[in-house]
Structure 1
Amino acid sequence: MNTDAQHPFDAAERAAVYRAIALRRDTRHFKPGQVLPEEQLLRLLQALHQAPSVGLMQPWRVIRISDAALRERMAALVEAERQATALALGERGAEFLRLKVEGLRDCAELLALVLPPDDGTVFGRRTLPREMALCSAGCAVQNLWLAARAENLGLGWVSMVEPAPLADLLRLPAGAQPLGLLCLGPVERFYEAPMLEQQGWRQGRPLAELLMDNHWNEG
């Protein structure tokens, strides 16, 4: 093993990274009435901003929602989609409605994640222009998720919302698209396993079922 690399991680630091990955959870339950120190929030947003992006395009914009009335209007949009999703699920609709799908009213910070208008970046995007922008934005959220867990904070990515009315609430320019709402803040406790597994909604598949050699060979 090469031990001469620049800025090497020691065993404890390496273990901490893997621990944060393993303990990260998509959080829906927050302690209400909490406030994050500004310096902590800045650290978290800086972690988001250090994410990799194709062609260094940095296709993420973050809108901090500090208006309580605006937060309520967003919560109403999420509730409307929750009801629509329950209807679409048919016989599992009632089971779905028992799940908590968001924490907009209780989280300390509510952030809107936005894909900005395309800036024309071609490097790395000629074949998959939109897909690579979306992947880059996803990397930014994963950075934020892991940093939040390391800060002992929960984060939930709420995508259960129609993009057009949310874009109207955010007053987005033409060509921009909201990618969901990020609920961030202290929690009473972290889920021991992903919430959907705990609630019996769905079980994650083991890694071995998702790895293939050379060609698609899923049985």
Structure 2
Amino acid sequence: MVAFDEAFRRQLHELFVWRRDVRRFRRDPLPQGAIERLIETVCLSPSVGLSQPWRLVIVEEPARRRAVIEDFKACNADALRAYSGERASQYATLKLAGLEEAPAHLAVFADKSSQTGHGLGRMTMPETTEYSVVAAICSMWLAARAEGIGLGWVSILNPAHINGILDLPTSWKFIGYLCLGYPETEDDRPDLERAKWECRRAADQFTTRR
């Protein structure tokens, strides 16, 4: 059995502390094979019934990237209209995606039609297919940070439009669009906390006992 010592556990904790949702990227390209290596880490993630439902699309074509950026701009404008007053003014100042600058784009989907795993664990909770993909993204997020690579998860997009832009099956459910690259700066606090949009709360505020 592999044993992890106290020094490793401290480093692992630091990895969690310094993992950030990155929106400001340098334009330097990632090393050859970096994305593929991170995808291999994704495939080590747990999945319900060993179904491995993640489907990953490396988005390289400039026209497709531009279409994604335009969709983000439209969705972000709609989101801004949902706020009013000071909160709307604050929202308008936030940088919520690094789509223009990030050298690598990765779209992540859950294949809800896959028969891999023979449905084990999904009969009563079919949504565990999507949960498995989210867990895989979190694995990639940490692995990327360990290599000094920043990852930003863009959610302000229209899922149906993304499937269409990338010409993908409708049975693939859009989970997230990831920007990857080297961050402009490092910080151990969330960007939204530094922008005074929200603050991180202590664990005891989310925990109860029964």
* TM-score category (smaller protein): over 0.9
Question: What's the % identity of the aligned pairs?
Answer: 33
Q: Which residue of 2 aligns with 1:72?
A: 66
Q: Which residue of 1 aligns with 2:37?
A: 43
State yes or no: 1:125 paired with 2:119. Answer: no
Q: CA deviation at 1:53?
A: 0.5
Q: What is the one-letter code of the residue matched to 1:207? A: A
The question of whether the paired residues in 2 share the 8 Å contact of 1:156 and 1:183 is answered with yes
The question of whether the paired residues in 2 share the 8 Å contact of 1:154 and 1:190 is answered with no
State yes or no: 1:10 paired with 2:8. Answer: no
State yes or no: 1:57 paired with 2:51. Answer: yes
The question of whether the paired residues in 1 share the 8 Å contact of 2:75 and 2:157 is answered with yes
Tell me the distance in 1 between the aligned counterparts of 2:79 and 2:109: 23
TM-score relative to the length of structure 2: 0.94
For residues 37-186 of structure 1, the aligned pairs below 5 Å read 37-91=31-85, 92-120=87-115, 121-129=118-126, 131-186=127-182
The question of whether the paired residues in 2 share the 8 Å contact of 1:117 and 1:174 is answered with no
SS in structure 1 at match of 2:178 = strand
The question of whether the paired residues in 2 share the 8 Å contact of 1:55 and 1:124 is answered with yes
Tell me the distance in 1 between the aligned counterparts of 2:102 and 2:52: 26
Aligned-residue CA RMSD (Å): 1.3
Q: Which residue of 2 aligns with 1:189?
A: 185
Q: Which residue of 2 aligns with 1:19?
A: 14
The question of whether the paired residues in 1 share the 8 Å contact of 2:57 and 2:108 is answered with yes
The higher relative CO (CA closer than 8 Å, separation ≥ 6) is in: 2
Q: CA deviation at 1:89?
A: 1.9
Q: CA deviation at 1:41?
A: 2.3
The question of whether the paired residues in 1 share the 8 Å contact of 2:17 and 2:188 is answered with no
Point out where structure 2 has 5 or more consecutive residues left out of the alignment: none
Q: CA deviation at 1:144?
A: 0.5
Tell me the distance in 2 between the aligned counterparts of 1:204 and 1:198: 10
TM-score relative to the length of structure 1: 0.90
Tell me the distance in 2 between the aligned counterparts of 1:113 and 1:119: 15
Point out where structure 1 has 5 or more consecutive residues left out of the alignment: 1-5, 215-219
Q: CA deviation at 1:73?
A: 1.1
Q: CA deviation at 1:49?
A: 1.4
Q: CA deviation at 1:12?
A: 2.1
Q: CA deviation at 1:42?
A: 2.3
Tell me the distance in 2 between the aligned counterparts of 1:31 and 1:210: 36
Moved more, 64-73 or 150-159: 64-73
1:131-171 Cα offsets, whole Å, 9 max, x none, are: 20111011100011000110011100101101111110011
Count of aligned residue pairs for this structure pair: 207
Q: What is the one-letter code of the residue matched to 1:124? A: G
Tell me the distance in 2 between the aligned counterparts of 1:73 and 1:112: 13
Tell me the distance in 1 between the aligned counterparts of 2:160 and 2:29: 30
